[in-house]
A and B are shown apart, each in its own frame.
Chain A
Amino acid sequence: MDGKWGEWVAPDNPQSKSEVVASVEEIEQAIAKLKTADLLKLNAFAWNRSQSLGLRGIVHSGEDLLQDAVCALLEERRHWNPKKVDFVGVLMGAIKSIASNLWEAAKAKGFELPASQFVGPDEDGKEALSPVDLLPATGLNPEQAAIASNLLTEIQETFSDDPEAHVVMDGLWDRMSGTEIIDALGIDRKTYETIVRRIRRQVAARWPKGIHNVR
């Protein structure tokens, strides 16, 4: 991460605990005031983080992450001063932190799934399969991994007429950071961000379903 986040609250630097903590009413008002575009940005971010967790076999939907982020603010695990900080930014910080904690916890304890993901007995009393039974112990199974890989290959192929985007995807394939790609290509950050924006749009168009839903 390179720190260029606009109104984003850096998750590794939460506000001071002496900051005012938002009340239920303030949070409800802030949710009510969110515009369509704000909600879409939150959705895109939560969805992205849930897909990243999905790559590791952790089933936690974007909606779960959004719900958890609000809960974390109210439980005072995250602090928010409504007068100083943008609500979208603080929620994204909470989502990123929650996703990171889920991944760390999964690495430390083995994989755990949220209660909402467990399926109870059906009307006939037969025990339904829980996602635990359906998921591999760690990461994606070979079929899911191949689907994810093909999806990214397809996205890259859409840039056959866009050499800039194609070469940035090569950099991402080489696991380079944004700054490393900028340095390697000798481009400025604005140009890089414009290229990544084109890639982001292809992702939005071609990756509508979660990888972890592919079975």
Chain B
Amino acid sequence: MSVKKQWTIEQAENFLDQISDSIGAASPGEIEEDVLSSGEDVEALAAQTRAALLAGVKKFQQQKLHHARQRYKESSQRIESRERRIAPSVEARRFQFFDLLKANPGIQSALTMQHRDLSSLTDGDIESALEELDALGAIEDLGEKNNESES
């Protein structure tokens, strides 16, 4: 009388590995025959598989959206938490603005076209230009440059 063999986890793993090799080498038609012979609902199983694959696309898109939202939130928080570095009075702002351009002429290219005609700048233009520059970190950079030249 033969003794029933007990299978360890490692033996069962080897068994499944060889079966997976066999599945990989088989034609899709052969696998379809396997499923048919097992009595499973072929169409339902295929639909379930397609749905799982499409769920992968959806998961990727949701992750992408989540990451974009996260980046936007972080960037908004960074801008909001930035200390306002624009001078409080009209005169001081005008001085600050031209000081910025003098220290870094390249900054002009970061401004919009309407701000490039510097002689016609209104107080409002200067304030909004300073706000844009502040958001870009240019005022902070100017402060650092001034500190370096003072030391």
Contact = CB atoms under 8 A, between A and B. Distances in A.
Residue among B7, B40, B57 with the highest chain A CB neighbour number at 10 A: B7
Contacts, number: 187
Contact of A208 (B17, B21, B40, B53): B40
A75 B30 CA distance: 32
B16 interface: yes
A117 interface: no
Given A8-B24, A24-B60, A193-B25, A200 B32 contact: no
Contacts of B61: 24
Contacts of B76: none
A36 B59 contact: no
Main secondary structure on chain B at its contact with chain A? helix
B4 interface: yes
Interface string B8-41: 1111111111111111111111111111011110
A41 interface: yes
B52 A63 contact: yes
Contact of B32 (A1, A40, A71): A40
Given A34-B50, A40-B46, A69 B56 contact: yes
B16 A175 contact: no
A37 B28 contact: yes
Interface residues of B, number: 53
B30 to A, nearest CB: 7
A59 interface: no
Nearest to B31: A41
Interface string A193-215: 10011011101110010000000
Contacts of A130: none
Given A40-B49, A149-B12, A74 B57 contact: yes
Interface in A18-64: 24, 27-28, 31, 34-46, 48-49, 51-52, 55-56, 62-63
A52 B27 CA distance: 22
A63 to B, nearest CB: 4
A68 interface: yes
A82 interface: no
A72 to B, nearest CB: 8
Contact of B28 (A24, A88, A152, A205): A88
Interface string A54-93: 0110000011001111110011000000000000100110
A172 B22 CA distance: 13
A125 interface: no
Interface of A: 1-2, 4-6, 8, 24, 27-28, 31, 34-46, 48-49, 51-52, 55-56, 62-63, 66-71, 74-75, 88, 91-92, 96, 139-140, 145, 148-149, 152-153, 156, 169, 172-173, 175-178, 193, 196-197, 199-201, 203-205, 208
Given A24-B60, A31-B53, 8 more contacts: A37-B29, A38-B28, A43-B49, A67-B55, A96-B20, A152-B12, A172-B14, A203-B19
Rank and list the top 3 A-B pairs by shortest CB-CB distance, nearest first.
Answer: A70-B56, A37-B28, A63-B52
